[in-house]
Amino acid sequence: MPLKFELCPGRMIGGSNPCFIIAEIGQNHQGDIEIAKKMIKMAKDCGADCAKFQKSELEYKFNKRALERPYTSKQSWGKTYGEHKRHLEFSHVQYLELQNYAKEFLHELDVPFFKVGSGDTNNFPYLEKTAKKGRPMVVSSGMQSMETMRRVYQTVKKHNQNFCILQCTSAYPLEAEDVNLRVIAEYQKEFPDIPIGYSGHESGVHISVAAVALGAKVIERHVTLDKSWKGSDHEASLEPSELTELVKAIRLVERSLGTGIKQMLPCEKPCHDKLGKSVVAKVAIPKGTVLSMDMLGVKVGEPKGIPPEDIFHLVGKSVTEDVEEDESITPDVVDGYGKKIKCRVE
C-alpha cells in the first residue's frame, strides 16, 4: 500500500484516498491580480482541491544573459525574456492579497506544501534544501531520466517522508504519443512507498482521467479563463467547463475502481437469477444412481441448481432422489454436496 500523508489540512493523499486535483493557474493570470482572483474562484467552483500559482525570484532562477535575451514570440509581454517574466510576476504583497482572497472562498487553498517544477527537479542543492524544510512536497519529473528520478527519491526521502512524484512531459501542448502514461506504473514499482501522480499539458481531459485509472493519486492541470489569450500555457490549459468535466470524470472513475476482489456482487443477483446457468439432468436419473458426465448438462434452470463450475465435482456422487430429465440438479439431491451460491452482502 503506497504511503499516505496529509498534503493539506484534513486532506490525505495516497492509498484509497481520492485523487488530489491541482488547478495550476501558473502565470495564466496575464499579470492581472483581478484575473487571478477570478481564476481562484473558478478553481473552487469547478471542484478542484487547490489552486496553484508560480512564484519565481527571477535573479535566482535565470542568469543575466538569459533575462536579457530577445523574446520576440507573439506570446511575449516584453522585448526581452526578463521583461516578459517580470510582467507576469506578482509581488509578495500581491500574493498575500491573493491568499487572503482565497480564504474567503476555500480555506484549504492555504496549501502547506512545496511544488518542485520539472525545471528544478535535478537541482539537487535546491531539492535538498526544500526537503529539509519539512513540508510535504510534490515533485514533477519532466525532462528527467529514471536514473535522475532515483536520485531525486533518495535525496528527498533522506530528509522528508511526505512527498509524491508526478509523471510529466514538458511540452506545451503535449501530443498523446509523448505522454508516456506507462511511466506511472514504473514509478509505482520503483517507489512503492510514496504516492505517484500525473502533471499533464495535453489538450482535453481523457488522458488525465486515464492516469487516475492507472493509479495516479495527484493530478495537476493548467487552467485558463480563455485559451485564446496571449501566453504559451493557455493552449495546453483547461477552460472552466473542461476543468469541471475533469473533476467529475475523475470522481466517476474512482467510484468504478472497486476493491480488486472478484466475486459476484449484489447488483448482479437479478441477472444471475434470470440467466444464471445450472447443472441439469440430460436423462432421467433414478434414486441411488452414481452420476457420470453423460448424464449432466448445463442450462438456465428453474429452480436454480448446482452451478456449472461444480459439474465435474458431481461425477462419482450418487443422487438421493429421482431426478426427471431436464430438471435442475439441486444441492439437496446429491449425496456429499453442500456448496451454496454466494454473493457479497454489503
pLDDT at 88 over 70: no
pLDDT at 325 over 90: yes
C-alpha to C-alpha distance for 334 and 143, rounded to whole angstroms = 66
C-alpha to C-alpha distance for 324 and 322, rounded to whole angstroms = 7
Residue at 27: amino acid letter: Q
Give the residue with greater pLDDT, 125 vs 92: 125
Q: What does each C-alpha distance from 108 to 40, 103, 161 come to in angstroms?
A: 12, 8, 22
**Please, which residues have CB within 8 angstroms of residue 254's CB and are 6 or more apart in sequence?**
18, 19, 212
Give the residue with greater pLDDT, 117 vs 231: 117
Give the residue with greater pLDDT, 42 vs 29: 42
pLDDT at 337 over 80: yes
Q: In three state form, how does the secondary structure of 154-200 look?
A: HHHHHHCCCEEEEEECCCCCECHHHCCCHHHHHHHHHCCCCCEEEEE
User: Average pLDDT, stretch 69-86?
Assistant: 78
pLDDT at 291 over 90: yes
Contact 217, 18 (CB under 8 A): no
| Longest Cα–Cα distance in the chain | 98
C-alpha to C-alpha distance for 318 and 288, rounded to whole angstroms = 6
At 179-202, the pLDDT tens digits run 999 999 999 999 999 999 999 999
pLDDT at 106 over 60: no
Instruction: Name the percent of the chain lying above pLDDT 90.
Output: 71
User: Average pLDDT, stretch 264-273?
Assistant: 95
Query: Of 35-39, 65-69, 146-150, 278-282, which range is least confident?
Result: 65-69
Q: Identify the pLDDT of residue 105.
A: 55
Q: Identify the pLDDT of residue 340.
A: 52
Give the residue with greater pLDDT, 121 vs 1: 121
Is the Cα dihedral 152, 153, 154, 156 positive or negative? positive
**Please, which residues have CB within 8 angstroms of residue 235's CB and are 6 or more apart in sequence?**
172, 173, 203, 227
Burial of 105 (0-12, 13-18, 19+ CB in 10 A): middle
Please give the helix or strand (H or E) that residue 269 lies within, else none: helix 269-275
pLDDT at 56 over 80: no
What phi and psi values does residue 88 have, to the nearest 5 degrees?
-95, 0
Give the residue with greater pLDDT, 86 vs 303: 303
Query: Of 70-74, 101-105, 318-322, which range is least confident?
Result: 101-105
Q: Identify the pLDDT of residue 163.
A: 97
Query: Residue 189 CB: number of other CB atoms within 10 A?
Result: 8
pLDDT at 1 over 50: no
Name the pLDDT band for 126 (thresholds 50, 70, 90).
very high
